[in-house]
Amino acid sequence: MLSIQSHVSLKPYNTFGIDAKARYWVEIESREDLQTLLQLSEFLTIPKLILGGGSNILLTRNFDGLVVKNSISGIDVLREDDLHVYVRAGAGENWHQFVQFCVRNNLAGLENLSLIPGTVGAAPMQNIGAYGVEVEQAFEELEALNMNTGEVRTFRHADCRFGYRESIFKHEAKGLYIITHVTFRLDKTPTFHTSYGAIQETLAEMGISHDDLTIQAISEAVVRIRRSKLPDPAQIGNAGSFFKNPEIPKEQFDQLKAQHPDMPGYPIGEAAVKVPAGWLIERCGWKGKRVGNTGVHAKQALVLVNHGGATGEEIKALAKNVQTSVAEQFGIRLTPEVNFIE
């Protein structure tokens, strides 16, 4: 039985801790719940916001529509072949807990994505990534329900149009589908990704040699790194990395490198270079800076924070000021990774 509530505070359901309100609110725990909801005529035409873990959104105002909290759970091993095991998870499953399920069962491919906040359903929408791995590398397919027709569609890899923190669900299919289940293709024999960030250094501190390397060790190293660098949303409101790392033409990077010899960059093919957004923001003097109830985290300049009582509009204003500073000093436009709900 669906319980549709009205005038519900969304503060507990977004990691920024913004106290916006939903005109209507409902939690779904199955595809059947969702299909029942779509048959209620009074909710067919009003705006809808699909909410997972609330870890990658910025609520800039009250939501004058229906917020649908996706709590579809369940993890099932579907099949396996000589190289892979295929695992299907409900979209409402906690992402980190799902990754830990894979690690415990020696299923490789997602261990570098440990401790990323959010849900399984949000992972392909955002094409989440960290430490040299993106979720699309282990993605097999997903099932999504069309919010207008109630039809269930299966999206294969090519259908999702994955890019850097991008998918079709952030563009043409935005707001049209709700993801119910995701299937991953996991490796029986791991390919270790340790060259990115501080993974090798952390493994050494843990006393893990190359010969001792396991996906369990990599997962633990990633968890240690993330906890040392990123604030816990339970302690201070944030949505993790607020901006994407910009990709710029190599010619532009070479010119900037001549002016700023310590500027880091990671080649993307021969024509482009990815520049850490956190480095740009820090160089503009924002790291650790507080503006009213908002600010830039003292340990990681890529993270904007709510010190308590901030509105979404205030955090949005801070983000725009950061973007302006970076554009003026480096000629680079930062793009938010966080989704603005306006």
If residue 103 lies in a helix (H) or strand (E), which one and from where to where?
A: helix 95-104
Cα–Cα distances (Å) from 289 to 228, 236, 303, 337, in that order, read: 19, 15, 11, 20
- Give the SS3 label for residue 19: coil
Distance CA 121, CA 118 (A): 8
Instruction: Say how far apart CA 33 and CA 49 lie, in whole Å.
Output: 16
The helix (run of H) or strand (run of E) holding residue 238 is strand 237-241
**Rounded Cα–Cα distance for residues 92 and 50 (Å):** 11
Q: Which residues are catalytically annotated?
A: 165, 241, 337
Enter the DSSP assignment of 119: B
In sequence order, the 6+-apart residues with CB closer than 8 A to the CB of 6 are 23, 24, 25
